Amino acid sequence: MASVAVSAARRRARRWFWSLLVIAVLGMGVVYRSIDAPSSPAVGTAFLLGSVVVLAALVQATRIWAALEGPVRVPRWFRRHRSATTAGGPSRDDPAGPRRER
């Protein structure tokens, strides 16, 4: 029963993701047209609203994408190298590093 609800939620999230990308493309079209048009208050308002729509749609689409794909997986060799160069020593995940007692 739970897997049906999860798959329905994933489908709905994917649908929203693609809908938001279409909205962002349409908003970008409005921004492009307003840049090309002669200056007026209406054109300035269209540019501002189009920019806000593009920004909001892309932020929401990015949040959905991150939720669908899960956390970013950084390669182990990069974590080891980065921790040794930036923090001055091995990371907590490094098997060669010192063990902490809990």
Place of tokens 């007692």: 101
Averaged pLDDT score across all residues of the chain: 83
Burial 10-20 (b: 16+ CB within 10 A, else e): eeeeeeebeeb
| 11-18 mean pLDDT | 94
Q: Determine the pLDDT at residue 99.
A: 58
Can you give the pTM of this predicted structure? 0.64
Residue 69 has a pLDDT of 86
Question: How would you class 50 by CB atoms within 10 Å of its CB: exposed for 0-12, middle for 13-18, buried for 19 or more?
Answer: buried
Confidence of residue 24 (pLDDT cuts 50, 70, 90): very high
**Residue 7 predicted with pLDDT over 90:** no
pLDDT given for residue 36 in this prediction? 92
What is the rounded average pLDDT of the residues 40-59?
96
